[in-house]
């Protein structure tokens, strides 16, 4: 599967998200971190900002919902224009029902796991999904250090996904950079979120292409 890069706008200039999107034309997606100050100790953007960004960005939006009650809120992000909506399984009451609803509305459905959440209990649900997101930091903030302890889970998830006929993407998010993207790709990840690595770079779009190149080496 081709390597995809999804820059996280959490590390971009929130006063000018249109310019942030325009600064990474090579990006496959734009990753939007939605936080509610309940599921995580931070508060970011919600449906209205996603709706506005969807109108001006050329890339599809990859919304990562770090919120309580995604069963209620996630469908609204599809209505707002997101191409992919990822909910945290730790917060979700009915992941199969929600994934089916997101897909029926026309979006890709993703399921995210925090570092201490195992993939194995969800093995039978995977065919309901378009993507699994393995967090490689505790969700809540950009700029944190990549947690190597998550690599074995990436490998185990990739092995589970390989047993399915459907092309279910494996995304990693948190501290991803040119230092570790090759190890993530070797473990089986194919979609890479990078916030500070991309928007902290002097030329963000060059970094997007550099990361994609490194991710494809393995």
- Determine if 215 is a binding residue for ligand DX5 (CB under 6 A): no
- Determine if 33 is a binding residue for Zn ion (CB under 5 A): yes
Beta bridge partners of 84: 62, 108
Identity of the residue, 87 or 122, whose beta carbon is nearer to Zn ion in the bound complex: 87
- Asked whether the beta carbons of 182 and 218 are under 8 A apart, the reply is yes
Identity of the residue, 116 or 159, whose beta carbon is nearer to Zn ion in the bound complex: 116
- Asked whether the beta carbons of 109 and 131 are under 8 A apart, the reply is yes
Interaction pattern, residues 67-106, with ligand DX5; x per rule: CB under 6 A: ----------------------------------------
- Determine if 33 is a binding residue for ligand DX5 (CB under 6 A): yes
CA distances, 113 to each of 55, 87, 92, 104, 209 (Å): 29, 9, 11, 23, 27
Identity of the residue, 178 or 196, whose beta carbon is nearer to ligand DX5 in the bound complex: 196
Angle of helix 70-79 versus helix 47-56 axis, rounded to 10: 30
**Secondary structure class of 112 (helix, strand, coil):** strand
Q: Residue 142 touches which of Zn ion, ligand DX5, none (CB < 5 to 8 A by kind)?
A: ligand DX5
CB of 58 to ligand DX5, least distance (A): 20
- Determine if 7 is a binding residue for ligand DX5 (CB under 6 A): no
Distance CA 40, CA 34 (A): 10
Provide the edge-to-edge strand list for the sheet that holds 108-113: 4-7, 191-194, 169-173, 131-135, 108-113, 84-88, 61-66, 30-35
CB of 194 to Zn ion, least distance (A): 10
The interface region with Zn ion, picked from 15-23, 25-33, 157-165, 179-187 by CB under 5 A, is 25-33
Single out the residue of 70, 95, 110, 174 in contact with ligand DX5 (rule: CB under 6 A).
174
Q: Which residues are catalytic?
A: 33, 173
Distance CA 75, CA 86 (A): 11
List interacting residues with ligand DX5 (CB under 6 A): 8, 10-11, 31, 33, 64, 137, 139-144, 173-176, 193-197
List interacting residues with Zn ion (CB under 5 A): 33, 64, 173
């Amino acid at each position: 599967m081709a390597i995809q890069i999804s820059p996280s706008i959490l590390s971009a200039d929130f006063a000018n998200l249109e310019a942030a999107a325009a600064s990474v034309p090579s990006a496959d997606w734009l990753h939007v971190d939605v936080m509610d100050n309940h599921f995580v100790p931070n508060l970011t953007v919600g449906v209205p900002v996603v709706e506005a960004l969807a109108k001006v960005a050329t890339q599809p939006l990859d919304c990562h919902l770090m919120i309580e009650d995604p069963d209620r809120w996630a469908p609204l992000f599809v209505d707002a224009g997101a191409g992919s909506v990822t909910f945290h399984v730790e917060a979700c009451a009915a992941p199969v029902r929600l994934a089916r609803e997101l897909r029926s509305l026309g979006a890709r459905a993703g399921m995210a796991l925090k570092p201490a959440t195992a993939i194995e209990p969800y093995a039978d649900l995977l065919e309901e999904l378009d993507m699994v997101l393995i967090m490689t930091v505790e969700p809540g903030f950009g700029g944190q250090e990549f947690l190597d302890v998550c690599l074995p889970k990436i490998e185990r998830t990739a092995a589970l996904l390989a047993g399915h006929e459907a092309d279910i993407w494996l995304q990693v998010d948190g501290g991803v950079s040119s230092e570790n993207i090759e190890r993530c790709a070797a473990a089986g990840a194919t979609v890479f979120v990078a916030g500070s690595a991309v928007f902290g770079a002097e030329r963000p779009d060059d970094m997007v292409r550099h990361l994609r190149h490194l991710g494809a080496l393995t």
